[in-house]
Structure 1
Amino acid sequence: MADAFFDSREEVLSLTKRLVGINSIVNTEGEVVIAHSLYTLLSSYPYFMENPDNLVIEQTVNDEYERYNVLAFVKGTKRPSNRTVILMGHTDTVGVGDFNKLHEYAFSPDDWMEILKEEDIPETARDQLDSGDWLFGRGALDMKSGLASHLYLLRYYAENPHQLAGNLVLVAECDEEDSSNGILSALKTLKQWKKQHRFDYVAAINADFVAPRYEGDPNRYIYKGTVGKLLPSFFVTGAETHVGAAFEGLDPNFVVSELTKQLSYNPALCNEAYGEVTMPPVSLKQIDLKPAYDVQTALSAYAYYNFFIHSWSPKYVLNLLKEQAEIAFKRALTIFEERYKQFCHVSGQKVQEITWNPRVFTYEEMNQMLTNAHGVAYTNHMEMFKKELLNDDTLDIRMYAARVVEEAWKWMEDKNPTIIVFYSSLYSPRIELTGKTKQEKIVIEGLEKAVEEIQPNYQYPIVTKNFYPYISDMSFMALSDSDQDLAPVADNNPSWGSKFYVNYQDIRDINVPVINIGPYGIDAHKKLERMEMTYSLEIVPNLTNRVIQHVLNH
């Protein structure tokens, strides 16, 4: 009921501990275990005993791991309506290497908190532990308490469908912490149900974690839409030389170091929209591709960077970073030349002319150049190479992409130093939820009304913002990019169609306004991961319920 305030704490806490108790680290057998455990739990509900076709457990598609999603729906009987709200949450967690020898306790919150009482932990964490209102453990915050909140509401409406003027769909997806194979597979089932049951998807509510945005931040955030994430990558070639004649060549690591200086932590590369600013890019990998030690400088180097966006498109970012790479390359050559002249001065050598010029191509540009120059000989070779490269199980999609670019580079006739810019991983789309459509307006109104009604029950400010600032599966529920702006994601990803593929049309076919109402806590992905129980177990289910009721009753 819209006006009811659910006494949800104990049930959501029990569900949270049950879920946390299952080791479901991403890309492990635990993802299979938790899916089957969740399916068994839901199968025990009388509603799903009577309506077994409303509950499914499904293996992901096009996935190198065996794992499963669990999806369920409750059809309301308050009045005939196709309006449908999707509740979504992921079942996997990050690993527990940070727990070291105590890793076995990571999934047992009560035992873990007893151990922490004897550990040397920061004062803030100590106070929260002693308060009795915080739950510690892997997944307690990210995001099993959020999923537990959804399960609570699903069970309530399964028992009270007469209070539901529409339909409620639960998506408990795997693999959020790595490659989002779970939600990308679930989209196909959501499309099938949309057609089969005539579901009109009018809102999606994610329950991923929220956290303070700065030291001492008292706010508990709710997010409309989400940040987007790209992984711009750079293959850099130099001019090899013996280290005893260092200035006769150009070390690609030197160029990459200037590239990282240009990109990492650069506020000029933050994307502002609606008064909110993304975090700047930061390096996630920086290596050379030299296979073994010798005294020759490396032939090539490779780096990739996290890149968040609010309003920029993948096409815009690619062009922007091509310009940034040219700036970095010019600076690297300028510094190289200055140091070369200084060396010649102190060593008494004659200065030779430096003939290199900064060259930067996108992968699409290089691929087109090579296709034009070599025709089917090149394209056939690369298709065969990519196919054979799939047999190398040591390569993730990012290193696979680097190896493809490295192989293509061998076909370049002009081997002067160059930077190739491309994407090497999944694009998690940005979503703007601004009220531009009637349905977006209804969701925003429902969210604002829910906060207004619930705030008096809670001591800290509940604040709504425009972009969820962390990567989540929210990204795959709607698209704000045009097909033209999205095209470079495929055209500039060397893994596309072989190691990696996303059907973005599946997302566009769902295209539902999405918000995040999730548990509040601190230190997600860290040893002291913890969630505040009052907000997460009481406020979150009640906020979510009010949004459900508002959206379905329109």
Structure 2
Amino acid sequence: MLNSREEVLSLTKQLVGINSIVNTEGEMVIAHSLYTLLASYPYFAENQKNLVLEQTIDDYHERYNVLAFVKGTKKSSNRTVILMGHTDTVGVGDFNQLYEYAFSPDEWMDILKNEEIPNTAREQLDSGDWLFGRGALDMKSGLSSHLFLLKYYSEHPEELEGNLVLVAECDEEDSSNGILSALKTLKKWKKEHQFEYVAAINADFVAPRYEGDKNRYVYKGTVGKLLPSFFVTGAETHVGAAFEGLDPNFVIAELTRQLSYNPELCNEAHGEVTVPPVSLKQIDLKPAYDVQTALSAFAYYNFFLHSWTPKDVLEIVTKQADIAFQNAIKIYEERYQRFCEVSGQKFQPVSWKPRVITYEEMDQMLKLTHGNTYTNHMQEFKYDLLNDETLDIRMYAARVVEEAWKWMEDKNPTIIVFNSSLYSPRIEITGKNENENVLIEALEKAVEDIQPSYEYPIVVKNFYPYISDMSFMALSDDDKDLAPVADNNPSWGSKFFVNYQDIRDINVPVINIGPYGMDAHKKLERMEMTYSLEIVPNLTNKVILTILNKG
């Protein structure tokens, strides 16, 4: 086994020491620092074209990826393994006035010794085998493992049969602009150097899946994610005459009750089940206070998938929205009737009927009705809306739907279903081709070889359960199943666009071998050093060598 612990720990502390919160200047700083570090290695000083610092494409922030490759000399081979990991982190608002220590692990752990923290965290802190700090787990220790291996083979290319490519990408924690830009460089290198990409290895964090779980997981493939979004219109009224209108907040509340935590919306594949959807935003779109009910409301929900396509999900959530709308009107009518009984007012049967349409359906309807007048107006509106820097792609999409709704002649209450964010494709590694077979066998053999060196079980699972840039290394959906991603995203082509063909052009099976720890994205984020600094690099190395030696 490679003696990796001290060097990977040193690299981890160095990277954690750089504040690289997503969508801040820190993403530039860490990329330049990483580039400078790699450029100092003799191999890259002699092979300068093998190392690049590249700004992301079509991005609203200035930030950079670092990409590098080492060509093995043991035997001439085009077989190439991609090592990938992100350089950004989430924010540190949860650290409050101690936020500066989030990036200084040793000082932060000294502070924690005198803080009230949970017993498990206390025991781990006192053990001396855990490192605390923002990014220590997610995922600077994983990236450091990759850096260690890249440096090792840059010094020992005679031990490498084939090639290693490193992708250290920015913006994983928000919109994946980093990996989507890096795909273009990977395509270019594929052509220029005849690289045959046969596998990708991500090093994102892994964690216990339940209380008392002692397993350390490695994953073949990854969960996918969509963000089904809903624009809900009601019938406005003065609150003093509440039953003369329909509050869209009431409808959207029922929609959340129908979708959030609903086990029927879990997607099972290969014996593994996604967690159900949960609400990530729920608001009305009133700009200011008055005593009129809101005209419209907006919500979106996290939606994980293992085997469902975007087309499947659109059909599923549209059906769920219809159920929620029916329930909302039924409850409304029952409460209205009871109110009339206690108040002595005359009950009038409710005339509204559930109406659920997709954004694509509404857009086509309006194009047929209003022609170029509508189309030109919306193009101009979208262009002007780009000047509002307060809008992320999700709120931008909501505003586009809101504007299009103004053109609808039938203003009866409606739920409009659309996508307002990035689609992260699911990846299933099943052995359906030679590269997948080789990767599965290499992973299983590596785990078998390494397990005796580590006390806790190392368990192989099928789907990495968190959103990561793994999703953009392969694509399972055909064009028909993928079409709703663009056709039902109001931001598509203006504020937002993904060239999924770039993913098809790389199309490499991907696994995750990452650091183990707890409380990622939280104040007590921490990683176990023995597994993360010793087992992870050696497990990854064995997979690399087995794959490349298959040539």
Question: TM-score, structure 2 length as denominator?
Answer: 1.00
Equivalent position of 1:181 in the other structure: 177
Equivalent position of 2:488 in the other structure: 492
Equivalent position of 1:469 in the other structure: 465
Equivalent position of 1:36 in the other structure: 32
Give 3-state SS (helix, strand or coil) of 1:166's partner. Answer: strand
**Post-superposition CA distance 1:270-326 (Å, at most 9, x none):** 000000000100000000000100000000000000000000001000010000000
Amino acid aligned to 2:164: L
Amino acid aligned to 1:162: E
Give 3-state SS (helix, strand or coil) of 1:106's partner. Answer: helix
Contact between 2:517 and 2:526, CA under 8 Å: does it hold in 1?
yes
Q: Does residue 1:254 correspond to 2:250, yes or no?
A: yes
Structure-to-structure mapping, 1:141-180, within 5 angstroms: 141-180=137-176
Give 3-state SS (helix, strand or coil) of 2:466's partner. Answer: coil
Give 3-state SS (helix, strand or coil) of 1:23's partner. Answer: coil
Give, in angstroms, the shift of residue 43 of structure 1: 0.3
Give 3-state SS (helix, strand or coil) of 1:83's partner. Answer: strand
For residue 288 of structure 1, the aligned residue among 284, 289, 297 is 284
Amino acid aligned to 2:489: N
Amino acid aligned to 1:553: N
- Cα distance between partner residues in 1 of 2:501 and 2:396: 25
Equivalent position of 1:389 in the other structure: 385
Equivalent position of 1:357 in the other structure: 353
Structure-to-structure mapping, 1:530-545, within 5 angstroms: 530-545=526-541
Give, in angstroms, the shift of residue 482 of structure 1: 1.0
For residue 136 of structure 2, the aligned residue among 140, 143, 167 is 140
Equivalent position of 2:100 in the other structure: 104
Amino acid aligned to 2:508: V
Equivalent position of 1:242 in the other structure: 238
- Cα distance between partner residues in 2 of 1:369 and 1:39: 51
For residue 344 of structure 1, the aligned residue among 340, 343, 351 is 340
For residue 122 of structure 2, the aligned residue among 121, 126, 130 is 126
Identity score, percent: 82
CA RMSD of aligned residues (A): 0.4
For residue 308 of structure 2, the aligned residue among 308, 312, 322 is 312
For residue 209 of structure 1, the aligned residue among 187, 205, 208 is 205
Contact between 2:16 and 2:104, CA under 8 Å: does it hold in 1?
yes
Q: Does residue 1:64 correspond to 2:23, yes or no?
A: no
Poorly superposed stretches of 4+, deviation over 6 Å: none
For residue 478 of structure 2, the aligned residue among 474, 479, 482 is 482
Amino acid aligned to 1:474: M
Q: Does residue 1:509 correspond to 2:505, yes or no?
A: yes
Amino acid aligned to 1:254: F
Structure 1 unmatched runs, 5+: none
Equivalent position of 1:459 in the other structure: 455
Equivalent position of 1:84 in the other structure: 80
- Cα distance between partner residues in 2 of 1:483 and 1:455: 42
- Cα distance between partner residues in 2 of 1:171 and 1:453: 27
**Post-superposition CA distance 1:20-66 (Å, at most 9, x none):** 00000000110000000000000000000110000000000100000
- Cα distance between partner residues in 1 of 2:95 and 2:295: 39
Give, in angstroms, the shift of residue 212 of structure 1: 0.1
Give, in angstroms, the shift of residue 148 of structure 1: 0.2
**Post-superposition CA distance 1:57-103 (Å, at most 9, x none):** 00001000000000000000111100000000000000000001110
Give, in angstroms, the shift of residue 353 of structure 1: 2.1
- Cα distance between partner residues in 2 of 1:226 and 1:359: 35
Question: TM-score, structure 1 length as denominator?
Answer: 0.99
Give 3-state SS (helix, strand or coil) of 1:6's partner. Answer: coil
- Cα distance between partner residues in 2 of 1:520 and 1:211: 6
Give, in angstroms, the shift of residue 409 of structure 1: 0.3
Equivalent position of 1:12 in the other structure: 8
Amino acid aligned to 1:289: L
- Cα distance between partner residues in 2 of 1:161 and 1:487: 44
- Cα distance between partner residues in 1 of 2:64 and 2:426: 26
Give, in angstroms, the shift of residue 200 of structure 1: 0.3
Equivalent position of 1:443 in the other structure: 439
- Cα distance between partner residues in 1 of 2:351 and 2:18: 61
Give, in angstroms, the shift of residue 464 of structure 1: 0.3
Count residues in correspondence: 550
Structure 2 unmatched runs, 5+: none
Contact between 2:333 and 2:349, CA under 8 Å: does it hold in 1?
no
Amino acid aligned to 1:371: K
**Post-superposition CA distance 1:385-424 (Å, at most 9, x none):** 0000000011000000000000000000000000000000
Give, in angstroms, the shift of residue 186 of structure 1: 0.2
- Cα distance between partner residues in 1 of 2:521 and 2:487: 33
Give, in angstroms, the shift of residue 483 of structure 1: 1.1
